[in-house]
Each structure stands twice: as C-alpha cells, then as structure tokens.
C-alpha cells in the first residue's frame, strides 16, 4: 500500500502529538535529509513543535550544502538533546523515522525506548531486523522516501517553499540515479508537482555536484573492476584509501552504466576499522538478499552494508560466497 492509504492513521498520531522528533539513518544522504525537511515543513504547517535529529559529524557534499541552506529554518538537535526537549507527558511525544526501518541504522537505538509512539516511513524492504512497533509504512514501489513525503504533502494541499521543494526533488533524483532506477509514472508526477511548487532543477544539479579530486580518486577503483557471472560488476578499492560512504555509492552507480551489467558491488574502507559495501541493481537481481547476511540491507535497486573490524580481502571473499549462494547468475 502507498502512504496515502495510511493518511487517516498518520493524522491520528499527529493529533495526539505535541512534540515530534524526525530522524533518518546515520550518514544522511539527500533522500533521508530531503524527506526529513519535507516532513518538518508539514509538521510546522500543522503547528507542531518539531526537531530534526542527527549525530552525523561529517556529511557528504550535497548534505553539507543543504544543512548550510536550512540552518536558520530547521531546528536540528543531537540524540543527546532529545531528552531535554521531550514533552513531560510522554504520550504526547512522537518519533518519525524516515528512509530506514532498521533500528541499528538510527543515530541511536535508545530513541525507540525514549519515545513510545513511532511512525516509520520508508521505501526499503523489511526483514526480521526491522522495527515492529508503531505505525509502519513501507512502500517498496516508491522511488524514494522523498517521493512518499511529497505525496503526503500534496494530499494536504499545502505548499512547501521553493528551497524545501528543491531539496525534496534532489532526494528523488539521487535515489533514482537521475530517473533511471525505480522510476514510475508516480515518480515523474511527483517531480512535476515539486517543480510547480518552485523546485529548481538547476539548484538540484548544484546540490548533486561532485568534487573533482574525489571523482578522480574514485576512478582508480573503477579501473580494477571484476566481472562475475557475466553481469555482475565488483570493484574493490585499495586498503590504503579511505572513502566516504557516498563515494562507494557513486562508483556503484557508474558501473551500472556499462553494457550487460545488471548489478554492481563496491567494497572499500570507510573508516579506520570499518569496511563498507555499496550495491546497485537494475532490478533483476535482489541485491538486498545478498547483503543482508553480511549485516546490510536495502531493496532490489539500492543496498549497502557496513562491517566493523574486518579486512577488505575477507569481505570480498564473504561477498563472493553470498553471490554464489544466491545463484544470481540464474536469476
């Protein structure tokens, strides 16, 4: 079911709440932040006291640009500050979780214990690790959480300002890889709707602009790509290079552009003791099923995993084993 099928239930939660905390996954991307900003404006429209919660210290370039643009319009707090802003009546507090349904991907799992009332809005597949309590709204047919939140905004016949509309559109463009992946008629209509509200495609392009030095650095990993089962691209970065999570995702996006490649996996060091995997698929290979045994998740088009205290070589062996077990060459 789509998000509008839950509109009545969402209204019940919102009527009950006086203070709302919006949180997305760690390491915000433009979809997580775009949907958060859209939800924030919807809540302000409904005259709710609300906060955007994040603990991220370092952000990808596009997210950093957005945070700079909205710093005077959105109240942003850390998870440590949530306690100080709770309504004394806990029943009047509401936690809205966007762009993830896994508790371990939140900035802090303690938020689920601190606030009893939860709404989860996401477009990624659920599994046994997913959040079970509260109002769970999962639409795996949606291109992005930004698309889902835009649908909700449209149903209230409210207008977002031009900046927020642009940020929502950037979330859709990011998650569809410029309207290539998981794009439906509804996705195009949502983009049209945001453009009518003043979203500026040129500013979207500005938010998505890449750093030239980082782009050149990513090419080093692409040049050493391996092809598995004739249609799976696997790129493994040197252990001496530390990438940002979004860099791995961009490499995976690029690999999908090549002929006969149905899905791509990129392995790289993203912190001192942390290895990241980013995966993309054209939709014919269920990449989330490959990464879930490695502690990751996502959906058929976008998936990722983060593994602590391991090595790139070991993760590559484990990933190849999972690819073999899933028999992706037969899908």
- Per-residue tens of pLDDT for the chain, all 331 residues: 899 999 999 999 999 999 999 999 998 999 999 999 999 999 999 999 999 999 999 888 899 999 999 999 999 999 999 999 999 999 999 999 999 999 999 999 999 999 999 999 999 988 888 999 999 999 999 999 999 999 999 999 888 899 999 999 999 999 998 998 889 999 999 999 999 999 999 999 999 987 778 778 777 788 889 999 889 999 998 888 888 888 898 899 999 989 999 999 999 998 888 999 999 999 888 899 999 999 888 888 889 999 999 999 999 999 999 998 876 444 4
Coil, helix or strand for 19? strand
Looking at the fold, whether 178 and 272 belong to one and the same domain comes out as no
109 and 165 in a common domain: yes
Domains: count for the chain: 2
262 and 201 inside one domain: no
Per-position b or e across 292-320, b if 16+ CB within 10 A of its CB: bebebbbbbbbbbbbbeeeebeebbebbe
Does residue 182 share a domain with residue 228? Answer: no
pLDDT number for residue 10? 97
Looking at residue 328, what is its pLDDT?
45
Claim to verify: residue 52 and residue 128 sit in the same structural domain:
yes
Phi and psi at 131, nearest 5°, equal -65, 135
With CA atoms as reference, report the closest residue to 56 among 246, 236, 217, 210.
246
Q: Where are the alpha helices (DSSP H) in 29-144?
A: 30-45, 61-70, 110-114
pLDDT of residue 88: 92
Quote the pLDDT of residue 327. 61
Indicate if 57 and 157 belong to the same structural domain: yes
pLDDT digits (tens, 9 = 90+) for 18-40: 999 999 999 899 999 999 999 99
Give the distance from CA 271 to its chain's centroid.
19
- Shared domain for 321 and 199, answered yes or no, is no
Q: Are residues 186 and 282 in the same domain?
A: no
Range of the domain at 193: 3-208
Query: Which among 148, 182, 208 is the end of a domain?
Result: 208
284 and 323 belong to one structural domain: yes
Asked whether residue 130 falls in the same domain as residue 59, the answer is yes
Task: Locate 146 and state its tokens.
Answer: 């930004």
Whether 24 and 167 share a structural domain: yes
pLDDT attached to residue 329: 45
Q: What pLDDT is recorded for position 242?
A: 86
E-state strands within 48-107? 49-53, 76-77, 93-98
CA distance 136 to 103: 13
- Of the residues 208, 243, 258, the one at which a domain ends: 208
Tokens of 192: 């049209």
26 CB neighbour count, 10 Å cutoff: 17
| Domain boundary, last residue among 175, 208, 241 | 208
- What residues are paired with 309 via a beta bridge? none
Beta bridge partners of 264: 233, 280
Measured from the Cβ of residue 191, the count of other Cβ atoms closer than 10 Å reads 24
Say if residue 82 is in the same domain as residue 147.
Answer: yes
Gyration radius of the chain over CA positions: 19
Predicted TM-score (pTM) of this structure: 0.84
Supply φ then ψ for residue 265, to 5 degrees.
-130, 135
* Alpha carbons 120 and 89: distance in angstroms, whole number: 21
Write the CATH number for 192: 3.90.1640.10
Residue 318 is part of a domain; what is its CATH number?
3.10.310.30
């Amino acid at each position: 079911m789509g998000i509008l099928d839950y509109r009545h239930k969402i209204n019940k939660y919102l009527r009950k709440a006086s203070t709302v905390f919006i949180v997305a996954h760690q390491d915000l991307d433009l979809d997580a932040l775009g949907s958060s900003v859209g939800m924030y404006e919807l809540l302000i429209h409904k005259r709710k006291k609300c906060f955007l919660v994040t603990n991220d210290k370092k952000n990808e370039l596009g997210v950093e640009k957005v945070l700079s643009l909205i710093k005077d319009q959105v109240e942003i707090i850390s998870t440590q500050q949530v306690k100080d802003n709770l309504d004394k009546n806990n029943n009047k507090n509401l936690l809205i979780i966007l762009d993830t349904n896994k508790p371990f991907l939140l900035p802090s799992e303690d938020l689920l214990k601190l606030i009893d009332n939860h709404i989860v809005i996401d477009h990624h597949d659920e599994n046994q690790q997913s959040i079970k309590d509260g109002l769970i709204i999962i639409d795996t047919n949606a291109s992005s959480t930004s698309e889902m939140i835009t649908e909700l905004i449209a149903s209230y016949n409210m207008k977002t300002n031009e900046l927020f509309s642009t940020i929502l559109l950037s979330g859709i463009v990011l998650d569809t890889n410029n309207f290539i992946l998981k794009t439906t008629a509804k996705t195009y209509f949502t983009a049209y709707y945001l453009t009518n509200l003043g979203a500026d495609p040129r500013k979207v392009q500005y938010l998505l602009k890449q750093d030239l030095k980082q782009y050149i650095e990513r090419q080093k990993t692409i040049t050493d790509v391996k092809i598995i089962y004739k249609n799976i691209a696997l790129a493994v970065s040197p252990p001496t290079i530390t990438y940002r999570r979004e860099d791995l995702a961009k490499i995976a996006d690029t690999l999908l552009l090549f002929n006969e490649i149905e899905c791509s996996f990129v392995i790289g060091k993203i912190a001192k003791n942390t290895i990241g995997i980013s995966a993309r698929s054209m939709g014919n290979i269920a990449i989330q099923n490959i990464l879930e045994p490695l502690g990751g998740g996502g959906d058929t088009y976008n998936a990722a995993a983060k593994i602590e205290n391991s090595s790139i070589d070991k993760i590559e062996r484990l990933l190849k084993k999972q690819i073999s077990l899933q028999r992706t060459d037969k899908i």
